[in-house]
Amino acid sequence: QKEVEQNSGPLSVPEGAIASLNCTYSDRGSQSFFWYRQYSGKSPELIMSIYSNGDKEDGRFTAQLNKASQYVSLLIRDSQPSDSATYLCAVLTSNSGYALNFGKGTSLLVTP
Amino acid sequence: DTAVSQTPKYLVTQMGNDKSIKCEQNLGHDTMYWYKQDSKKFLKIMFSYNNKELIINETVPNRFSPKSPDKAHLNLHINSLELGDSAVYFCASSQAPRGWETQYFGPGTRLLVL
């Protein structure tokens, strides 16, 4: 199966700082890219999607995609303790029947 | 107003038993999925149905059998449960199996096989 790689962390940042989460993928046919947030004991919740190269901003979140480098990232500005969670990078390709291929997630801890 | 619901939330059972997990979505979506999240939190697709038809069947033991009685429901039946089946099983749905459709996840069913 095509790989989606993330650093497992934990990534620790102080409150108010920028958290930077990274993801690489191996399938050049990947079309759509998603960031899900998962709190402990809860289900994944979509926070950002991105389909074309460049940046996409939504509030404190910015997703960045570089298809040539097969790299997608998520920046969280003004990090809050409530942002502490596991962030899952997910990639979707047409030859996967449109099922999401997830990375193993990066654990983020925002310290007050 | 729960969008994707699953029952039961918790399931504790003995090895060798047969059990079912049910999923329902009230979003009017055509496509539903089963994902498994193991103890290391790795989330992996198992099955996908579009309009009651199976479109994805990943390498999953035959003991797992999905059934979709209608496009709002996707159930998962597991025969002869094994210790390694212990995991959290998430149901998800999307409008259609298209690349830009958001998948919405249910709350998960935590299965523990003793």
Q: Do B42 and A102 touch (CB under 8 A)?
A: yes
The Cα A103–Cα A25 span in angstroms is: 9
Q: Nearest residue of A to residue B48 by CA position? A: A99
Cross-chain Cβ contact B45/A31 below 8 Å? no
What does the pLDDT look like over B59-97, one tens digit per residue?
788 999 999 999 899 999 999 999 999 999 999 999 876
Token match 């050049």: residue?
A28
Other Cβ atoms within 10 Å of B39 Cβ, number:
9
CB A74 within 8 A of CB A91: no
pLDDT at position B1, please? 61
User: What's the confidence (pLDDT) of residue A74?
Assistant: 97
Residue A94 has pLDDT above 70, yes or no: no
